[in-house]
Amino acid sequence: MWAAFKMVITFAGLGIPAGLVLIPWTFLTKKIQPMYRVGKWISAAGIRAAGIKVEQHGRENIPEGAAIFVPNHISNLDPPIMVPLIPGTPSIMLKAELLKIPVLGKAWEMAKFVPVYREGGREAAVRTARYAAEVIRGGLSMLIFAEGTRSKTGRLQAFKAGPFHFAQSTGAPIVPVAIAGTEAMMQKGSSRVYPGVAKVTFLPPVYPADYPNRAEMVAEVRRRIISALPDSMKPLEAE
């Protein structure tokens, strides 16, 4: 638990004072970039405090302008590892109730994070989709875990349609991302964190205009992620 303790203390010890200063400053100036730069630095610092080393590959595959980054999802460590690696001020889809967290919730709202509502049915889903498209058209990249939830086994799961719908409606490219290593550092259902090496590979972007339909685009994004995963994380044939 020591690694988890150091990570949480770093996040809280740096994040709360930074938020108390930068959130009012952002309200006054209407500039989100300084708060975001500090937030990304704090995120990276917390990961380092836990004894986690991040190895990244393929940054040359990241296109200029807004893009939708779609990684596999195997641990709660994936978001704080990914956010500092994405250029600019990326938005993230997150549970709507997280926006109620004091200080952090307000910061995420100002950073144009996209809330996902558990209740509300189709109307709530449409509201989320419209806001996500607005964020992308506004020039922000997005981080979306297409599986929708963390894999229990570490193997790649089926994809949800959300990020691919956003790509088609906005024309933004999808950057497939393969994450490996975090599944052993913080497993689903556990709060324990173990030091280790997280490997993040940015793969060549997929442009929606190059595919006649969504199914083919999904298949290509999935194929590229699978190609960069170790055999133990590739989906089984039955999946």
Q: For 56-71, what is each residue's pLDDT tens digit?
A: 999 999 999 999 999 9
pLDDT at residue 75, rounded to an integer? 94
Token pair 């809280």 is found at 12
pLDDT at residue 20, rounded to an integer? 84
pTM: 0.90
Residues of the chain under the 50 pLDDT cut: 238
Q: Is 218 domain-assigned?
A: yes
Q: Is 181 domain-assigned?
A: yes
pLDDT at residue 94, rounded to an integer? 81
Distances (CA, A) of 112 to 20, 45, 134, 135, 179: 18, 23, 10, 7, 24
Q: Is 5 domain-assigned?
A: no
Q: Is 9 domain-assigned?
A: no
- Parent domain of 120: 53-233
pLDDT at residue 28, rounded to an integer? 86
Q: Is 219 domain-assigned?
A: yes
Q: Is 2 domain-assigned?
A: no
The count of structural domains within the chain is 1
Please report, for the domain that includes residue 149, its CATH number: 3.40.1130.10
Q: Is 47 domain-assigned?
A: no
Q: Is 37 domain-assigned?
A: no
Provide the H-helix boundaries in 83-181. Answer: 104-110, 121-137, 162-170
